[in-house]
Amino acid sequence: MESSEALYKHFLTYLRVERGLAQNTTLAYSRDLTRLQRFLQAKQLDPLTCGGNDIFLFIYQLKEQQMASRSIARCIAALRGFFAYVLSEGLRSDDPTTYINTPKLEQSLPTVLSEQAVDKLMQGGVTQTDLDIRNLAMIELLYSSGLRVSEMVGLRVEDVSLDVGYVRCLGKGNKERIVPLGELAAQAVQRYLDGPRYRLRRKGVTDILFLNAKGKPLTRQGFWLILKACAKASGLDQNISPHTLRHSFATHLLDHGADLRSVQEMLGHADISTTQIYTHLTKQYILEVFRKAHPRAQ
């Protein structure tokens, strides 16, 4: 019989290779399983001998440690997936997570920029340096396409078709999708390709589209810092993240009459219920407009 350590590793390989889960998701599951492993070892148990009560006590311990409800929910999802895998391998005949309840999560609405704030972000603090031109190209592309930041930093030069106006990206689960690209974004990316990228690339060899000052592929963390700096230079005091641009992209599309199914396709959501959060945002916006504008609203 293989060790618990080997069993965890096989499951993570299964998630990455056969299920095609994103690296960040796999890493999060790995951390959750490491917590479980330590808990079970302290009780001299393993994944094949623990019971439902042991899993309940493990989850209770996470709550005692004041882990966020969302993190606990993800941990429970990791455990359910793991023990389903163990069952499928014939290593157990029961599932100890059967009676574990996922904590209820408050649906927090994402931060969305107004269209005026987006314009301010694009126009503020823009100079003529190679890095400034690159920064504007990234921000324009992210807002125009709604890509996840991990998808954007993974783009290669051949993934962007500026003459036709689309971006080809590899999303969650290694699913490829084609997303339209607006004219302003295409112009900004073309300007970056016309010189700045070439000068940055001479410091390194890569076909990745967006490069850092050393000519290497830009990271998610690197873009997050760039966006923060651009927001500050633009005079925006909102807490802006790369996901803010994705949320703004979806919300503004719906505000201007796009249908939910099309927005789902562009965002790369597997389930339309994930996209429906943006309908709540547009309803909230309409309500705010009504309350501000209608003479008898208050």
- As annotated, the active-site residues are 148, 172, 243, 246, 269, 278
Phi and psi angles of residue 185, each rounded to the nearest 5 degrees, phi first: -65, -40
Give the whole-angstrom CA distance, residue 17 versus residue 273: 26
Residue 181 is encoded by which pair of tokens? 């690209």
The amino acid sitting at 234 is: S
Compute CA 61 distance to the chain's CA centroid, rounded to the nearest angstrom: 28
Give the whole-angstrom CA distance, residue 179 versus residue 110: 22
CB 219 within 8 A of CB 213: no
Give the whole-angstrom CA distance, residue 142 versus residue 220: 12
Residue 176's H or E segment, with its range, is: strand 176-180
Cβ neighbours of 112 (radius 10 Å): 23
Residue 217 is encoded by which pair of tokens? 């592929």
Give the whole-angstrom CA distance, residue 156 versus residue 168: 9
Give the whole-angstrom CA distance, residue 289 versus residue 105: 28
- What DSSP state is assigned to residue 251? H
